[in-house]
Amino acid sequence: MDCNCVSDLLLTPPVPALWTPGIAFPDWAYKPESSPGSRQIQLWHFILELLQKEEYQGVIAWQGDYGEFVIKDPDEVARLWGIRKCKPHMNYDKLSRALRYYYNKRILHKTKGKRFTYKFNFSKVVLVNYPLLDMASSPFLLAQNHFNGGSAAPDCSPVTPETLQSLFPRLPESARGASLFERGPQGPEGDKLRLDTFPFLSSGAPCYSKPPSLLGPYPRNPPFDYPWGFNPYLPGAFSLNNCPKLPPGSLYPSHFYPNPLQSGLSQLPHPFSSLLPPSEAGERGGAQAGGGANGTVAAAVGGVPPRLCIPPYPGALSLSRTELGSVGGVGERERGEAHGQAASLGLGLGLGLGLGGLGGVGLGGVPGGRQSPSERRGGGGVGVKQDPESDSELEITDLSDCSSDNDNEADFSALSKARLAGGRPQVLEPKSTAVPLPPLSSLPPAGSPHPIKSLLPATPPPPSLPPSLSPSLSLVDRHRETEALKLTHS
DNA sequence: AACGGAATGC
DNA sequence: GCATTCCGTT
């Protein structure tokens, strides 16, 4: 249709307002802006956008288990999506078809038994946009892995606490009481990084509404002010023949429309922030901090509800190395299933949250003995069909995969902390005193409430690094070098 | 409502 | 690649 589609504008977004002068982010940092594969916004980005906006809480909102959201008004969401995509005939049926494709991609999954309720697989979402975490599976990091001892699957290399600490010296504790590493029941492999606790998607940012279950009556963002003082999503704001010029791309420039991913990025402790001289690292994050996030952060910091009964081995992630070259091995589908089953076995699913949507995994098995097609695919292990999606953009072996509704207990509040910590150590901790980062091995077992602040060192311990990754290198150079390392080792 | 195959478009 | 559209099935 010939409408002035929102994606016609700003195809080359200007430098985001939160841009930090002097720090050049690698290209991949902007993947959400320009990609994947298309310049157009992706549905899940859009969903996240809506979720973060207070004004759409009546339309779509976080609800239930962590990462879970409910489309309260399917028609309206479809309408908004249609507007954004200039698809005047969009409806929920079509939109939901698109959402269903995310099942295979493991970006989303359905919360069974709850109408219009889906759940984000945040670890997936994060990794789609932050190959940094793929980098975490690089040989460089694997070399530091003292835990898997080669016992992990060839394509499955858990990140160790040490590794993580090297990467994110200020990575905070998960606010919900789980440690970043869930001590698994199966020995050495038990220590796996909970990538889903990473801060990248969150918050802290002026405008990210956190998924519920962490913050109780969590603060919503202030209503977003469109540059033109016009909210294109408001009903009747325009006709389909008069689509407003909205910022295009999967994400808006942050100055225009703070979005979880980009703002998350801005808060993201840079992969090499730990390699930076404190001043440099601080400078980067500090300038990003922007304003307005404090309330959210404070809430995240102060209002940490105890979340006990953490599944013993929940969303623990094993980073696939297939991207690094071991392509010939097991297909993602198979890996996913294998890990899904592992998750099924290992998950306690004891959170007592979002129980309505238990995805047929865990203690009770398949509720009602009924299996959805996706479950058939994911859990059966037989008659595995080709994965038409075989999402090439990411190869992640994620135990938190579609198998459970208790997966991905990502921690948004922790993310805020990470941002503050990573960016401005001297400013973080509105009310806590920074203490040295304890050895990860000393972290309390999963389930023990663990103050975030205990993971926020006043001064990040300089990680041991390969000589080549000297702090004297520029950020870009280091990134480049790491990339080279990856290639070399793959 | 939810699902996924298939064809199609961009 | 990522939907969109259509549609039969559960």
A456 or A114, which is more confident: A114
Q: How far is the CA of A63 from the C1' of C2 (A)?
A: 27
Lowest pLDDT segment from A209-223, A250-264, A375-389, A465-479? A250-264
Q: How many CB atoms lie within 10 A of CB A461?
A: 13
Q: Does residue A12 have a pLDDT over 60?
A: no
Residue A117 has pLDDT above 60, yes or no: yes
pLDDT band with cut points at 50, 70 and 90 for residue A210 = low
Report the range out of A2-6, A28-32, A126-130, A167-171 with the highest average pLDDT: A126-130
Instruction: Give the nucleotide with minimal C1' distance to the Cα of A389.
Output: C1
Q: What local confidence, expressed as pLDDT, does residue A335 receive?
A: 39
pLDDT digits (tens, 9 = 90+) for A328-348: 333 333 333 333 333 333 232
Distance CA A88, CA A426 (A): 50
CB A411 within 8 A of CB A195: no
Tens digit of pLDDT for each residue in A438-448?
A: 233 333 333 33
Output phi, psi for A387, to 5 deg: -85, 105
**pLDDT classification of A121: cutoffs 50, 70, 90:** confident
Residue A149's pLDDT band, with cuts at 50, 70 and 90, is: very low
Please compute, for residue A91, the number of CA atoms within 13 A of its CA located in the half-sphere on the CB side: 2
Regarding predicted confidence, which is higher, A17 or A476? A476
Q: What is the mean pLDDT of chain A?
A: 45
What does pTM read for this prediction?
Answer: 0.41
**Distance of alpha carbon A55 from alpha carbon A172, whole angstroms:** 30
pLDDT at A40: 77
Q: Closest residue to B3 by CA to C1' distance?
A: A373
What letters, b where the CB count within 10 A reaches 16 and e where it falls short, cover A280-306?
bbbbbbbbbbbeebbebbebbbeebee
Q: Is the pLDDT of residue A350 over 80?
A: no
Please name the residues in contact with A109: beta carbons below 8 A apart, sequence gap of 6 or more: A102, A103, A118, A119, A121, A359, A374, A402, A405
Residue A469 and residue A166 in contact, taking contact as beta carbons nearer than 8 Å: no
Task: Tell me what pLDDT residue A3 has.
Answer: 52
Q: Is A142 helix (H, G, I), strand (E, B) or coil?
A: helix
pLDDT in tens, A398-415: 434 333 333 433 333 333
Q: What is the pLDDT of residue A290?
A: 31
Spatial distance from the CA of A204 to the C1' of B6 (Å): 43
Please indicate whether residue A61 or residue A223 has the higher confidence score (pLDDT). Answer: A61
What proportion of chain A, given as a percentage, has pLDDT over 90?
16
Question: Would you place residue A230 in the very low, low, confident or very high pLDDT band (cuts 50, 70, 90)?
Answer: very low
Residue A138 above 50 pLDDT? no
Would you say the C-beta of A390 is within 7 Å of strand C?
no
Averaged over A368-383, what is the pLDDT?
A: 36
Q: Is the CB of A183 under 7 A from strand C?
A: no
Please tell me which residue lies nearest to nucleotide C5, judged from CA to C1': A94
**A179-202 mean pLDDT:** 32
Q: How many Å apart are A82 CA and C7 C1'?
A: 21
CA of A103 to C1' of C1 (A): 16
Quick one: what percent of chain A has pLDDT higher than 70?
17
CA of A38 to C1' of B10 (A): 10
DSSP string for A30-81: GHHHH-SSSSSPPHHHHHHHHHH-GGGTTTEEE-SSTTEEEES-HHHHHHHH
Report the pLDDT value the prediction gives residue A439, as an integer from 0 to 100.
Answer: 31
pLDDT in tens, A89-107: 999 999 999 999 999 999 9
- DSSP code, position A439: P
Which residue's alpha carbon is at the shortest distance from the C1' of B10? Answer: A38
Handedness of CA A71, A73, A79, A83 (dihedral sign): negative
Q: Residue A184 CA to nucleotide C4 C1', Å?
A: 43
CA–CA distance, A416 with A171 (Å, rounded to integer): 10
Alpha helices in A276-400 (DSSP H): 278-288, 294-302, 332-346, 373-380
Residue nearest to nucleotide C4 (CA to C1'): A94
Among A214-223, A237-246, A361-370, top mean pLDDT goes to A237-246
Residues with CB under 7 A from strand B: A 38, 74, 92-93, 96-97, 100, 103, 110, 112, 114-117, 372-374, 377, 385, 388
pLDDT of res. A143: 28
- Using a 7 Å cut-off to protein CB atoms, list the covered nucleotides of chain B: 1-6, 10
**Residue-level pLDDT at A363:** 30
Half-sphere CA count of A93, side-chain side, radius 13 A: 1
Q: What is the pLDDT of residues A254-297, one digit of tens each?
A: 333 333 333 333 333 333 333 333 333 333 333 333 333 332 32
As ranges, strand C nucleotides with an atom below 7 A of a protein CB are: 1-7
| Predicted local confidence at residue A140, as pLDDT | 26
Q: Smallest CA–C1' separation from A98: which nucleotide?
A: C3
The tokens describing A448, both together, are: 């023990």
Q: Which nucleotide is nearest to A393 (CA to C1')?
A: C1
Answer for the pair A232, A83: CB distance below 8 angstroms, yes or no: yes
**A122 — pLDDT class (breaks 50, 70, 90):** confident
Q: For residue A50, is pLDDT > 90?
A: yes
- Residues of A (44-103) placing their beta carbon closer than 7 angstroms to any atom of strand C are 44, 81-82, 85, 87, 89-90, 93-95, 97-98, 101
Q: Band the pLDDT of A65: cuts 50, 70, 90.
A: confident
> A1 CA, C8 C1': separation in Å?
28
